[in-house]
Amino acid sequence: MPRLPNWLRIALVGRNPKVTLVRAAVLGVLCIVAYKSALLHIRVEGISMLPTYQDGSAHFVNRLAYLRHEPKRGDVVGIRLAGPHVMYMKRIIGLPGETIAFVNGRVLINGEVLDEPYEKYNCDWNLPPVKLAADEYYVVGDNRTMPPEYHTKGVASRDRILGKFLL
Amino acid sequence: MKIIFRLVLAAALVGLGVWMWFVLFPSPEKVIRKRLVGLARTVSFSTNEGNLTRLAGAQNLGFFFSTNVEVNIDVPGHERHVFVGRGEIIQAALAARSAVAGLTVKFPDINITVAPDKQSAVADLTVEARVSGQQDLIVQEMKFTLQKTDGQWLVTHIETVRTLS
């Protein structure tokens, strides 16, 4: 077997192969831990978040996003169903304690119109006010072109919010 | 060296024994999980299945349910459906098999809580379904109640869970 040139050997296995092996193992473990605990890889299915997120696009959910602070209005979050493998991708529009209503397609927060620059399509929803409890958030998709009964939206308890979507 | 060899052998035998114990006497959670995965597989059918296979698949579905099972499907935007009894479920399965070309059902997340007497259990799970020829994925959180009857875990009640209220 031909001996590798020194520069190639260093590039491949480093000056000390044992140290390189330990480094690679540590890096591998860190990647697995980060992937399992901090980031969730997801693929978008459906049109409810158009035009912000396209059907079929791939993204990551940061599970550590809300360790230091609570979810904010405008955040796109993952809402778990029975577990983390399937989740709803929705935008938070209502925060705990607020009252949310839809009038002629506009969102009213405690009676005030919410500015939503991410909503590009026309919406004509009229939905009665909903008062949120201390641990509840109102979530909805950006695409509200369909009748409201065909759009998955509503009140999500804090424990259902898995994390924040990374763009 | 001989002692080390004996210790390693003893540890391997203990490990094998523990593994055999769990294989021969699985926990109720494991048995229920396996049964639910089997249920998802039985509900599913492919486009190239013959009529007899489809009929057999629908009939096999009955083995997963108790005779007085109640299924309550209440999904926003759709009509509410209630099925009572094993016969109605088989009929519904046959109707589904003639209405759509194929169906793939999976339960990607299953959380099982077994009662202290180990005779009943509740499974909170996500149903992921894809109808052949349709692009949209159907997802729904559901609650299954199971009862141990004659050594078999049978589904006695199914209801939809409103993830977003």
User: Could you report the predicted ipTM of this complex, rounded to two decimals?
Assistant: 0.81
Architecture of the domain spanning B26-160 = Roll (3.10)
Percent of chain B whose pLDDT exceeds 90: 71
Domain ranges in chain A are 1-38, 44-166
User: Does A45 contact B at CB distance below 8 Å?
Assistant: yes
B130's enclosing H/E stretch is strand B120-131
* CATH number of the structural domain A44-166: 2.10.109.10
- Selecting among A18, A36, A37, A90, the annotated active-site residue is A90
Domain ranges in chain B are 26-160
Q: Which residues of B touch A149 (CB under 8 A)?
A: 76-77
Q: Which residues of A touch B159 (CB under 8 A)?
A: none
pLDDT digits (tens, 9 = 90+) for A83-125: 999 999 999 999 999 999 999 999 999 999 999 999 889 899 9
- Contact in structure between B145 and B122 (CB atoms under 8 Å): yes
Please report, in angstroms and rounded to a whole number, the separation of the first and last CA atoms in chain B: 66
pLDDT digits (tens, 9 = 90+) for B121-158: 999 999 999 999 888 889 999 999 999 999 999 999 99
Stretch A39-52: mean pLDDT: 91
- Contact in structure between B121 and B153 (CB atoms under 8 Å): yes
Q: Quick check: A1 pLDDT over 60?
A: no
pTM of the model: 0.84
Q: Quick check: B54 pLDDT over 90?
A: no
Query: Tokens 């997801």 identify what position?
Result: A42
Which pLDDT score, from 0 to 100, does residue B40 have?
A: 96
